Structure 1
């Protein structure tokens, strides 16, 4: 199930979401110019290096969430952010949402690192931070509707309550993480999601001050 759009009108322009999409796209263009593999090794989150030298390698927690490994990788992450991020930003306010997004990405990277302490494989991508946005949406807008497409022999367009759609997505992350399927940071997704779900109301409170 791939989300097309949500039926949940935001009251204010999502300046931060648009800015994040722009900077992720800019970073990906830079990666293409220097090499995807080199950029991942230089700025991706590598658990083994981080836990040996958290201070010296701490920058990777931030830089890794703006890097991607392919066109599909960045397009899918930015699309999920675009679909679900505007309402969360609207509820939290611009400044709080940006802080929430960045902290969600940090929490996601650390969660993945705890499950792979000695891994030397770089972890890159915005999916951990985007998962935090999904966690917040799950808490703040469970009764909104998400229009999705399911691809069988022909496209099937279906509408689900956001609580069901995101809950099903979270279940898939857990299931695939327990199976140990390679190539995707499943625990980063879950770590980001849990951070978002637990912190959503705290960041949404008194949003008008920001």
Structure 2
């Protein structure tokens, strides 16, 4: 897996929406109930129950998205002690009115850990500014939300019986990556390639993003990994394709990125005539 760190593709305007999305995601993560104890190393059952109840309320649940109904019993956030099975999280009838469709929007700003958050924000920072520059602030915000919804409902369609909360901006950011691949396939991206040490290379965007999408597609099919774990790879695939389709009409009018100078694939590029 390559780690992008910077792209050689300057923008004409300040990406205010991209910065706002990153700031909102970080703030929501910092103030998420139950996560403060996690960052301090507290793995108590009370914290886990509190976090589970919060996510069940505000995260997108595939079964709810497809069947448009809330479960009869949900976590309450309290600890219950069963004499036969030991302590666990108490469940009961929901005391809130949840909109499954609106939960897709709130879920985009929820993350399960620092690595999840920082990985998403890194990709958004590197590639989101150029897409916002091409679309404009308002259209980029609408594009981002549309890709997030497509990713969530696409994942729910293939996992309609799942009750596991779906969180994170990965689906929406995958849409940004898909749009970048369509609009700026030849832009150069500085990446770190882990090979004994992290090797810095400058590669075309179509290689970096095409490789990323290929991995997501393979993992979503269950190939290449023993267990998909908690990563919703299918949401990444659907979001990426949605971003490509939405950006395709803009492709003819998009100016190409500047031709980079200097190091290319670890070697210094030659100038014409030399």
Normalising to structure 1: TM-score of the pair?
0.92
* Cα distance, 1:60–1:80 mapped onto 2, change above 3 Å: same
Higher helix fraction (1 or 2): 1
Distance 2:252 2:60 in 1: 31
Residue 52 of structure 1, CA deviation: 2.1
Higher strand fraction (1 or 2): 2
Residue 206 of structure 1, CA deviation: 9.0
Give runs of aligned pairs for residues 63-82 of structure 1, distance below 5 A: 63-82=106-125
Distance 1:173 1:2 in 2: 15
- 1:77-107 Cα shifts (integer Å, max 9, x gaps): 0110000000010000000000000010000
Structure number with higher relative contact order (C-alpha < 8 Å, ≥ 6 residues apart) = 1
Residue 61 of structure 1, CA deviation: 1.2
Q: Does 1:177 align with 2:220?
A: yes
Counterpart residue number, 1:42: 57
Mean Cα deviation higher: 62-71 or 43-52: 43-52
Tell me if structure 2 keeps the 8 A contact 1:92–1:204: no
Counterpart residue number, 2:234: 187
- 1:123-178 Cα shifts (integer Å, max 9, x gaps): 10000000000000000000101110012321111111001110111000000111
Q: Classify the secondary structure of the residue corresponding to 2:112.
A: coil
**1:53 aligned to which of 56, 63, 68:** 68
Counterpart residue number, 1:165: 208
Normalising to structure 2: TM-score of the pair?
0.71
Q: Classify the secondary structure of the residue corresponding to 1:58.
A: helix
Structure 1: gaps spanning 5 or more residues: none
**1:200 aligned to which of 243, 247, 262:** 247
Q: Classify the secondary structure of the residue corresponding to 2:103.
A: helix
Residue 183 of structure 1, CA deviation: 1.5
Q: Does 1:108 align with 2:151?
A: yes
- 1:51-90 Cα shifts (integer Å, max 9, x gaps): 2217932111111111000011010001100000000100
Mean Cα deviation higher: 135-144 or 26-35: 26-35
Distance 2:109 2:51 in 1: 12
Tell me if structure 2 keeps the 8 A contact 1:96–1:203: no
Give runs of aligned pairs for residues 10-49 of structure 1, distance below 5 A: 10-31=11-32, 32=35, 36-49=51-64
Distance 2:23 2:205 in 1: 26
Counterpart residue number, 2:87: none
Cα RMSD over matched residues?
Answer: 2.0
